[in-house]
Amino acid sequence: MPIDEAQVRHVARLARLAVPDSDLARFAAELGAILEHVARLQELDVRDVPPTAAALGRPGVARDDEPSAGLTASEALAGAPASAAGMFQVPRVVEG
Amino acid sequence: MDVAPYEWPAHQVRRALAAGQVSARKVAESALRRIDEVEPAVGAFLHLRAREDVLADADAVDAAIARGATLPPLAGVPAAIKANMCMRGVPASCASRVLEGFVPPYDATAVGRLRAAGAVILGATNMDEFAMGSSTEHSADHVTRNPWDLGRVPGGSSGGAAAAVAAGEATIALGSDTGGSIRQPAAFCGTVGLKPTYGRVSRYGLVAFASSLDQIGPLTRDVRDGALVLAAIAGADPADATCAAEPSPDYEAALRRDCRGLRAGLPVELLGGGTAPEVRSSVMAAADLLAELGAEVDECSLPTVPYALDAYYVIAPAEASSNLARYDGVRYGRRAAGAADYVEMFGRTRGEGFGPEVRRRIMLGTYALSAGYYDQYYGRALQVRTRICQDFEAALARFDVLVGPTTPSPAFAFGEKTADPLQMYASDVCTVAVNLAGLPALSLPCGFHNGLPLGLQVIGRAWDEETVLRVAFAFEQAADLTRRRPPLLGAGRMGG
């Protein structure tokens, strides 16, 4: 397998995704099978081939630099799981 | 024969309204009645707008007609929207628990344009969670059934949108296509589905999955409706920097009944070993019909396309792992309760909120982008993407369009591919390359096998939806298959 349980644990931490220990083996097997499949990409000779991150190679289209109305604070906060004093509320980030 | 308004294509609704033969209210009532009849069996919708709100929108169209106002192109047309597009006041859950309770405070540009064109929006349709899947079985809410065979999947990820149009619940629908998510369900449900050129339609308000691949497009009863809906939603948008400034032509004017002077290529790689015999013979018969209609048809090759699925299943998850970082339980949707600190809150919110396929893709994409693996996977996939783009460029220098199957097989049964992610991914084998290259492509019915529709895919040059629509329209008029309806509950003979 190209990926073991320790790597799955590491990737889950990078992705901020809680994965129970009981799921690690299954993830390793599933991700391993997919990675083995996509290893076919190594068969192709792509020396000197530039990468394409976006097709059609278009530059972004900038809008006119003019202010326009956006959401109000209360609209932006309406879907928040927790808010207070016109702000999103989260668990404490700094000690003290 | 008395065909109820719910069965009419959009262009017929427009004609009947203009001639005063029907009111928008009658059309909306017909759709709502049809939904009452078949929705319990089909399950196309995640959220239906309140009946009185739908009828109020229809009444506004009738009032405008009474005032003598010019009818907008989709006046009074009942429309469904995939649940990954924002509609003010209508839940957009993306069929995910992590977005439970999210009600967007604004309209996606495409939705706003559809409303401005007079469409009457019915509700939000079911999908694979965050558009990741090919059967709509990955919805966190419920399964959607294929109107042609309730034991089979409608395809995905826009499965609810395709099923709603096929079942007569909605006249038109908007879906999104990242690797085939409009075309594949259109093929499975016997509708027309169009993925426009990347950048043709604004993605503002479309929940991002893979931003370099995602594109909104129509699912419709016929090709003319596809042209009408594309015309309504296409064009530059100051809110989306990837939406092109290219003028949008009159797509309806491009429709013609012949293919004279056109060259159509048949890429041998799209008819590879995994293609079901009935799909192959149906596509070959379609190629013969295009030749009868005046097209010059010849085989061609896209040598790198057999690697498209591998490139796609690195690139799309990589982009998704980045895009889905925003679901952290802070600004909208669900938050895990009782976490001791913010890191635990992020992890548990996401671990509990995302379903298995979305977790798998986030993990895969994070791995492919992580230190030590980036070049081997993501970098490599982007280079292969270049080769795929070059293949299409070369083929489309010789041909005006490429034609092939939309899917390697007709609709499959529930549970047939859920156990093995790779099997599910393989059902996108004919469609993903088109997204990697950013090209427009349309699927329309080209035959039936054991009562299940089969889809023909027409691929065009970038920004040339007109030729794609022209070829599809000529084929549709000659083959006369899009008028066939699923046998579901005596479609079409139910009266007003």
| Domain residue ranges of chain B, discontinuous segments joined by + | 5-304+403-490, 306-384
Is B432 within 8 Å of B308 (Cβ atoms)? yes
- Best interface-test mutation with B: which of A10, A13, A41, A66 has the largest number of B CBs within 10 A? A41
The yes-or-no verdict on residue A3 having pLDDT over 80 is yes
- Best interface-test mutation with A: which of B87, B103, B304, B310 has the largest number of A CBs within 10 A? B310
Interface of A with B in 27-46 (CB under 8 A): 27, 30-31, 33-35, 37-38, 40-44, 46
Ordered DSSP codes for B399-438 = -SEEEEESSSSSPPBTTSSSS-HHHHHHTTTTTHHHHHHT
Cβ B422–A37 below 8 Å, yes or no? Answer: yes
Cβ A90–B437 below 8 Å, yes or no? Answer: no
Under 8 Å CB pairs connecting chains A and B tally to: 176
Enter the tokens of residue A3. 């990926």
Interface of B with A in 84-143 (CB under 8 A): 101-103, 105-106
- Residue B277 carries which side chain, given as an amino acid letter? P
Question: Which residues of chain B have a pLDDT value below 50?
Answer: 1, 491-496
Is B91 within 8 Å of B47 (Cβ atoms)? yes
Q: Which residues contact B487 (CB under 8 A, 6 or more apart)?
A: B148, B451
The minimum CA-CA distance between A60 and chain B, rounded to whole Å, is 5
What pLDDT does B245 receive?
A: 85
Which class for B33: exposed (0-12), middle (13-18), buried (19 or more C-beta within 10 A)? middle
Q: Where are the domains positioned within chain A?
A: 1-40
- Residue A71 carries which side chain, given as an amino acid letter? L
Q: Which residues contact B12 (CB under 8 A, 6 or more apart)?
A: none
Mean pLDDT, rounded, for A3-17: 96
Interface of B with A in 318-347 (CB under 8 A): 321, 325, 328-335, 339-347
pLDDT in tens, B355-414: 999 999 999 999 999 999 999 999 999 999 999 999 999 999 999 999 999 999 999 999
Query: In degrees rounded to 5, what are phi and psi of residue A9?
Result: -60, -40
Enter the tokens of residue A56. 């059609």
Query: In degrees rounded to 5, what are phi and psi of residue B265?
Result: -95, 145
- Find tokens 């203009």 and name the residue: B18
The DSSP bridge partners found for residue A87 are: A84
Query: Taking phi first (over 0 means left), then psi (-120 to 50 degrees means alpha), and beta for anything else, what does residue B372 get?
Result: left
What pLDDT does B150 receive?
A: 96
Is B114 within 8 Å of B128 (Cβ atoms)? no
pLDDT confidence band for A2 (50 / 70 / 90): confident
Residues on chain B touching A63 (C-beta within 8 angstroms): 238-239, 241
- Whether B181 sits among the annotated catalytic residues: the reply is yes
- Indicate the pairing of strand B192-195 with strand B263-267: unpaired
CA A57 to chain centre: 23
Task: To the nearest 10°, report the CA torsion of B214, B218, B219, B221.
Answer: -160
Specify the fold of A1-40.
Answer: Histone, subunit A (1.10.20)
pLDDT in tens, A57-84: 777 888 889 998 889 999 999 999 999 9
Could you say which of A33, A50, A55 has the minimum Cβ distance to residue B198?
Answer: A55
The minimum CA-CA distance between A22 and chain B, rounded to whole Å, is 13
The minimum CA-CA distance between B20 and chain A, rounded to whole Å, is 40
What pLDDT does B495 receive?
A: 37
**Which residue of the set B158, B176, B181, B202 is catalytic?**
B181
- Whether B417 sits among the annotated catalytic residues: the reply is no
B350 touches chain A (CB under 8 A): yes
Distance CA A37, CA B171 (A): 40
Enter the tokens of residue B251. 């797509």
Distance CA B282, CA B266 (A): 13
ipTM above 0.90 for this complex:
yes
pLDDT in tens, B102-145: 999 999 999 999 999 999 999 999 999 999 999 999 999 999 99
Residues on chain A touching B437 (C-beta within 8 angstroms): 55
For residue B281, what are the CA distances in angstroms to A66, B285, B453?
Answer: 56, 6, 13
- Best interface-test mutation with B: which of A10, A13, A17 has the largest number of B CBs within 10 A? A17
B356 touches chain A (CB under 8 A): no
B311 touches chain A (CB under 8 A): yes
Residues on chain A touching B348 (C-beta within 8 angstroms): 18
Is B374 within 8 Å of B366 (Cβ atoms)? no
Distance CA B496, CA B494 (A): 7
Kind and range of the H or E element at B363? Answer: helix B356-369
Distance CA B434, CA B384 (A): 13
Cβ A41–B103 below 8 Å, yes or no? Answer: no
CATH superfamily of B5-304+403-490: Amidase signature (AS) domain (3.90.1300.10)
What pLDDT does A9 receive?
A: 97
- Whether B82 sits among the annotated catalytic residues: the reply is yes
Distance CA B238, CA B76 (A): 28
The yes-or-no verdict on residue A95 having pLDDT over 80 is no
